[in-house]
Structure 1
Amino acid sequence: MQVLQVSNVLLNVPSESKEDAIARVGNKLVENGYVAAPYVEGMLLREQSMTTYIGNQVAIPHSMPEYVQYIQQSGIVVAQYPDGVDFGGGNVAKLVIGIAGRGEEHMEVLSQIATVCMEEENVEKLVRAQTVEDVMAVLGGTL
């Protein structure tokens, strides 16, 4: 299952609100044909109900269960924020990884991202990545 494509990596995004960051990765999922537009609304609602910040400078926005009907195919979007995005409570994400997973693929994709991002060394490589190829070298093998 190859859900990470070169066109899904956004580097050096200027800091913005968490809502704008979630909308950015969500709209990229829409633009690249992974989800229909209402899925982005579900991503924003998910963040209102509970944070998608997982620690280690990483947030993984995804949608509420009732919005999975808008997923057309599994995909992820990686947005790198060198100056970070404030997710509240002192939590600053330098990587915002929007995901959309169909069926069982959702937990598989989430698990693979979490496994890679548990290692601080991997997160640092992603935060310092200068090219899309740098990101693909860290994430591309598993996603």
Structure 2
Amino acid sequence: MYEAMLSENNIRLNACFTSKDEAIRACGELLLKTGYIEPGYVDAMVQRDSISTTYVGNGVAVPHGTEAAKPLVKKTGLAIIQVPGGVDFGKGRIAKLLIAVAAQGNEHIDLLTNIAQICIDDAKLNKMLKAQSTKEIMDVIRTMEKQ
């Protein structure tokens, strides 16, 4: 399932950002570069976080676009950015892992459920935070498919 939604080209390690907007835009650029979204979706991702934070806890943020931007999604996809130094999503919420979602229809519900499983599994989350290669991130994601 994830092979069609996430490739090593959609993963960036050891990133550093000065703001959450910069971090969210970087997520959107990965989705755009790999053909999952139209350019306007990136702005919708920033807008969505300004409406309600996309920080979900445990050092993880899940940037995604607004409902109105769904037509800008070409196909369902993910992008993952590891931010070892963290990026402030406001009120002291520091995200060290960004899992961006672009989904058509209701496909995002299953995706978000699986992302939540990563967030509450400290061992998997730590593997992703400490990964030294995109392959290591993909290996953790693949374990989600087997559950």
Instruction: Give your verdict on TM over 0.5.
Output: yes
Secondary structure, aligned partner of 2:87 = strand
Q: Which runs of 5+ in 1 are unaligned?
A: none
Partner residue, 2:83: 81
Q: Which runs of 5+ in 2 are unaligned?
A: none
Secondary structure, aligned partner of 1:82 = strand
Partner residue, 1:133: 135
Give the TM-score normalised by the residue count of structure 2.
0.93
Partner residue, 1:103: 105
* Offset of residue 77 of structure 1: 0.4
* Offset of residue 142 of structure 1: 3.1
* Offset of residue 16 of structure 1: 2.5
The root-mean-square deviation of aligned C-alpha atoms, in Å, is 1.1
Which portions of structure 1, spanning 4 or more consecutive aligned residues, are displaced by more than 2 angstroms?
A: 140-143
* Offset of residue 65 of structure 1: 0.3
Partner residue, 2:32: 30
Q: Deviations over 1:96-137 (max 9, x none)?
A: 111101112111111111112211221111110001111111
Q: Deviations over 1:45-67 (max 9, x none)?
A: 10100000000000000011000
1 or 2, which has the higher helix percentage? 2
Q: Distance in 2 between matches of 1:140 and 1:20?
A: 28
Q: Distance in 2 between matches of 1:126 and 1:92?
A: 16
Q: Determine what percentage of the aligned residue pairs are the same residue.
A: 36
Q: Distance in 1 between matches of 2:114 and 2:104?
A: 15
